[in-house]
Amino acid sequence: MSHNTTEINRQLRKSGYRVTPQRQLILDAVCQLGEHVTPEAVYDHVHRIAPTLSRATVYRVLHFLTEQRILAMVYMADGRLAYEMAGPEPHHHLVCRSCDSLLELPHSVLRSFRRTMDAQYDFEIDVSHLSFFGHCTDCRDSAGA
């Protein structure tokens, strides 16, 4: 696996949380399954290894790891939620509401915006992933107005 297990475990324990086999399994699963991993895909994966691991736990752990900034939530084109490792190299998406297309957005575009939020509102926008909804080149005309 490509994530630093030891470091993450230490971080969790430091915050008073526990490092359970379930959490490690789920984290490994997201890591292995790549980008845009759905909860169901995670469940399918870990369930083979640990058949008693429940769906509820998958959802809870995904949410938990996101809160800990170890994972990042991704809004997919169809509006559903997915997850991926919150790597050091953030990327973002432009999601078209009409055709569900998905444009990648380099992080650099957001730097100044993020700095503004930080300075003016003392709010640290989650840099690991952002999704902007709207209408792309092809759809902005046909969508009226």
Partner DNA sequence: TTTCTTGTTGCGAAAATTCGCAACAAGACG
Partner DNA sequence: CGTCTTGTTGCGAATTTTCGCAACAAGAAA
The residue within the footprint of its own copies, chosen from 51, 56, 119, 145 (CB under 8 A), is 145
Residue 78 in the binding site for its own copies (CB under 8 A) = no
User: How many residues belong to the site for its own copies (CB under 8 A)?
Assistant: 36
* Complex with DNA: residue 79 or 106, whichever CB lies closer: 79
Residue 89 exposed, middle or buried by CB count within 10 Å (0-12, 13-18, 19+):
exposed
C-alpha separations of 145 from 29, 64, 94, 141 in Å = 44, 41, 20, 8
> Rounded to whole angstroms, how far apart are CA atoms 34 and 81?
15
The residue within the footprint of DNA, chosen from 4, 17, 34, 118 (CB under 7 A), is 17
User: How many residues belong to the site for DNA (CB under 7 A)?
Assistant: 29
> Rounded to whole angstroms, how far apart are CA atoms 115 and 123?
9
* Complex with its own copies: residue 45 or 75, whichever CB lies closer: 75
What, of its own copies, DNA, none, does residue 145 touch, CB below 5 to 8 Å by kind? its own copies
* Complex with DNA: residue 75 or 90, whichever CB lies closer: 75
> Rounded to whole angstroms, how far apart are CA atoms 145 and 130?
26
Residue 98 in the binding site for DNA (CB under 7 A) = no
